[in-house]
Amino acid sequence: LALKVSCIIQCTRWPVHRNLIALCCIFFSLSFTTDYQYGTVAQACDQRTAIGLARSKDVDLRFFLPPPSLPKTKNDYLIEDQLRLLLVSLPQTDLDPCVQYFTSLALRESSQTLAAQRVSFHVQNRTIWFLCSCRAQRYKPISLFLSIVSSHCDKIEAQGGLQLLQRIYQLRKDSAKIQRNIIRIIGNMALDERLHSSIVRAGWVSVLAEVMKSPHVIQSSHASRALANLDRDTVQEKYPDGVYILHPQYRSSQPIRADILFVHGLLGAAFKTWRQQDVDQPLDKKASEVEEEYSQCWPKTWLASDCPTLRIISVEYDTRLSDWKAKCPVEKSIAYRSNELLEKLRAAGIGDRPLVWVSHSMGGLLVKKMLVDASKNPEMGKIVNNTRGIIFYSVPHHGSQLAEYSINARYLLFPSVEVKELSKDSPALKELNDDFLSFAKDEKFPVLSFAETLPTHIGSMIKLHVVPLESARLGIGDLIPVDVNHLNICKPKNKNAFLYQRTLKFIQDVLATDLGD
């Protein structure tokens, strides 16, 4: 048993031979017959070994110690009080205006009693967002916004924040969304290497290893991001909030030769935007069979299978149609988001390998802005130099009818800054397109554009052709009209569908030299 334990531990410390970890685990787990033997290994594993095991595919969860027991509390209100005290204790000066605004809002709302108890944290580049409903019959909204600066992380850890989150995670096993947002916080805190030992001691590695096995792509990808940020032996990059690695999510000996970056559009998300198109269930198939074939995220399933040597990344950022409700005082324009995302992408190593951009709707405008901005910044030059191609799915290069409708009905909708920027007479939109065309022609980027030909239902009464063919026409590269609406232009019906196969061919063609055989 001692020899087996020693072999497993040593394998996790050889990054060059990291594929041996999974082999060791599978081989020795076959010979383990009791939970005691697994427990012995778990107790012998140090921090690096535990993280290495958690990032090994098909690892037996009995290799991990369960999270440490937490003292019992008399009622759930103590948890709310602890979260409020944690928020109040953090410095509130020299913070982003959004953080200050929502912090004051959170403290004000936390004193109100509603139908059920609810606790929230928002996790962004410098902010933690966590959403938790601690009791089903009582409700108190608390939005806790904690700036992710080093001093704040230290305070969160010093005041037992990791254990507090562990308690809420265990209490709310009935809510995948709550647990997912907690893991999102852990992934953000893991960006600070000084907190790694505290995260491990609080029992989060075993939790993350279990969630990695989830069949739901959103859950597993949040856990994958957190573990990648913890794994400093084999991962050089760091994944800030909103940057998710879809493939490879485990340690692997497979070399990574290029990156594919997916950028969603207005009201989109890192996963749901890229799901397979919903189809009616055939009469001769069971529901379980249809579910097994359905892809929650085709870049993670289909593309990773067809191009295993790619690193596939999807980004997420918040957008909105209307400013009707209370909002952050900072208007997040395309220019603002470009600067914010470029910093995150450089931390994730974007630009270090050959790169292909894939974007939908407003995400394509963001891609153009990021490339134009990167071309003017010597520190971001590698992103431009390593770009091999760009795919646009119904990108409104010359404006969207959605913007025109929203602006005409502004007394009803109060269109957001994102929607206003999509109007046909937007000076910023025209300037961006002119700058990009001039720049892209010099760089000779291969470009593939898809355009929708069917209208899209906006709510129950409105039907719009969101991006007309003339607006999707960039002026360079190929433009392919497809008989789908705006939402389904980036959602192939199946792996054999034209949309996916043409996308795959473009990626393989522009990366032919880099991918080799």
More confidently predicted of 144 and 387: 387
Domain carrying residue 437: 237-278+295-515
pLDDT of residue 25: 57
Same domain? 111 vs 53: no
Per the domain annotation, does 19 fall within a domain?
A: yes
Band of the pLDDT at 244, cuts 50, 70, 90?
Answer: very high
For residues 82 and 381, what is the distance between their CA atoms, to the nearest angstrom?
A: 46
Report whether pLDDT(387) > 50: yes
- The per-residue pLDDT for 409 is 53
- Interval 299-320 mean pLDDT: 93
Give the pLDDT band of residue 83 (cuts 50, 70, 90). confident
The predicted structure's pLDDT at residue 79? 75
Closest listed residue to residue 471, CA positions, set 481, 461, 457: 481
237, pLDDT greater than 70? yes
SS (H, E, C) 58-104: CCCHHHCCCCCCCCCCCCCHHHHHHHHHHHHHCCCCCCCHHHHHHHH
Do 259 and 199 lie in one domain? The reply is no
Q: Are residues 440 and 344 in the same domain?
A: yes
Residue with the two structure tokens 């389904």: 488
Q: What is the pLDDT of residues 448-485, one digit of tens each?
A: 999 999 999 876 677 888 999 999 999 999 999 999 99
Residues 48 and 160 grouped into a single domain:
no
In a domain, 227, yes or no: no
Whether 219 is in a domain gets the answer no
Q: Do residue 423 and residue 503 come from a single domain?
A: yes
Q: Is residue 224 part of a domain?
A: no
**Residue 185 belongs to a domain:** yes
Whether residue 293 is predicted with pLDDT greater than 90 in this model: the reply is: no
Pair 129, 20 in one domain = no
**What is the residue type of 271?**
F
The confidence score (pLDDT) of residue 125 equals 34
Domain harbouring 259, CATH code: 3.40.50.1820
Q: Are residues 161 and 200 in the same domain?
A: yes
Same domain, 206 and 265: no
Q: What's the number of domains the chain is made of?
A: 3
Q: Are residues 259 and 311 in the same domain?
A: yes
Q: What percent of the chain has pLDDT over 90?
A: 48
> pLDDT of 397-410, one tens digit each?
998 877 766 655 54
Residue 133 contacts by C-beta under 8 Å, 6 or more apart in sequence? 116, 117, 118, 119, 139, 172, 175, 178
Which range, of 81-85, 378-382, 445-449, averages the lowest pLDDT?
A: 81-85
Query: If you average pLDDT over residues 92-101, what whole number do you get?
Result: 68
Tokens of 280: 């009616």
Q: What is the pLDDT of residue 517?
A: 63
Same domain assignment for residues 57 and 110: no
Domain-embedded: residue 451 = yes
**Could you tell me which residue, 146 or 238, shows the higher pLDDT?**
238
Q: Identify whether 200 is part of a domain.
A: yes
Q: Do 495 and 420 belong to one domain?
A: yes
State how far the Cα of 209 lies from the Cα of 181, in Å rounded to an integer: 16
Mean pLDDT score, 116-130: 39
Residues 30 and 105 in one domain: no
CA 106 to chain centre: 25
Is residue 148 a part of any domain in this protein?
Answer: yes
* Structure tokens that stand for 66 in this block: 């369960």
pLDDT of 308 strictly over 80: yes
